[in-house]
Amino acid sequence: MLVSVFDTISFDIHGRVAVLAINRPAVLNALNHQTLVELLQAVRSIALDEKIGGAIITGGGQKAFAAGADIKELAAMTPLGAQALSHQGHALMDMIETLGKPVIAAVNGYALGGGCELAMACTVRIASETAKFGQPEVSLGLIPGYGGTQRLPRLIGKGRALQMILSGKSIDAHEALRIGLVNEVVPAAELLARSTAVLEAMMANAPVALRLAMEAVNRGEGAALAEACAVEADLFALSAATADRTEGTAAFLSKRKPVFQGA
């Protein structure tokens, strides 16, 4: 079901799954200002809609997930404009990462620059065999500006991240899998089906527990272990106070399937 009409993205809902597709195939789904704004609006609507349990982000067409920022906009920006653009990108990526609902990046082609950063902000990345990943900003006299210098080292380690960022070279899907940048690589024809299956397996669990588990991981990342475990204990306590905990444990003891209400 098509729920909203945008100029640069499509937004559909299938059951409890929202599917966002960047729809600028003529420019390899480059992320211009309008696309960032529309993606942010769509993600906000997903956050507010209790009927939606999770989302898939992908690219329209056959070649690209999102091949970076719009070079025409980059060429014309001032330093203050660059700072504003970076903050805009951060706002989108942070909202995706902290949505409280799982988001799958179904990477169907080029995921370069901002496209790679968009994929990294998602909960899980599933790539087609034709996908390519890279942070080529240095070849334009720039650095990654939508979180790439921060999320990439956290995902694949400092050394590998610096090699990708400083060389500007792209890697294929199988190398991305080897170094931990993506979770799975599947044939292109199976990408959306597999992404949906992974998402639905997550959504079968208690919604509040999903949100709290992701919050624990995000808040604990980079913190000292003792501090991170304190965060975990607090969120564990919150999960224990939910009706879904009561339902989940009762269902297990009764050997039946739980019926979670998200409360």
What is the set of active-site residues?
117, 137
Determine the Cα–Cα distance for residues 59 and 47; give it in Å rounded to an integer.
21
- Tokens matching residue 214: 């992701």
Q: Hey, what amino acid is at 3? A: V
CA–CA separation, 127 and 82 (whole Å):
30
- Report which of 147, 68, 44, 64 is spatially closest to residue 106, judged by C-alpha positions: 64
Of 259, 239, 241, which is closest to residue 251 (Cα–Cα)?
259
Distance set, CA 23 to CA 6, 26, 38, 59, 90 (Å) = 9, 9, 11, 7, 21
DSSP 8-state symbol, 69: B
Task: Determine whether 141 is exposed, middle or buried from the number of CB atoms within 10 Å of its CB (0-12, 13-18, 19+).
Answer: exposed
**What tokens does 190 get?**
């199976």
d(CA 42, CA 38): 6
Q: Which two tokens stand for residue 116?
A: 């790679």
CA-CA-CA-CA dihedral for 136, 137, 139, 142, to nearest 10: -170
**Distance between CA 131 and CA 103 in Å, rounded?**
18
The neighbouring-strand residues paired with 124 are: 104
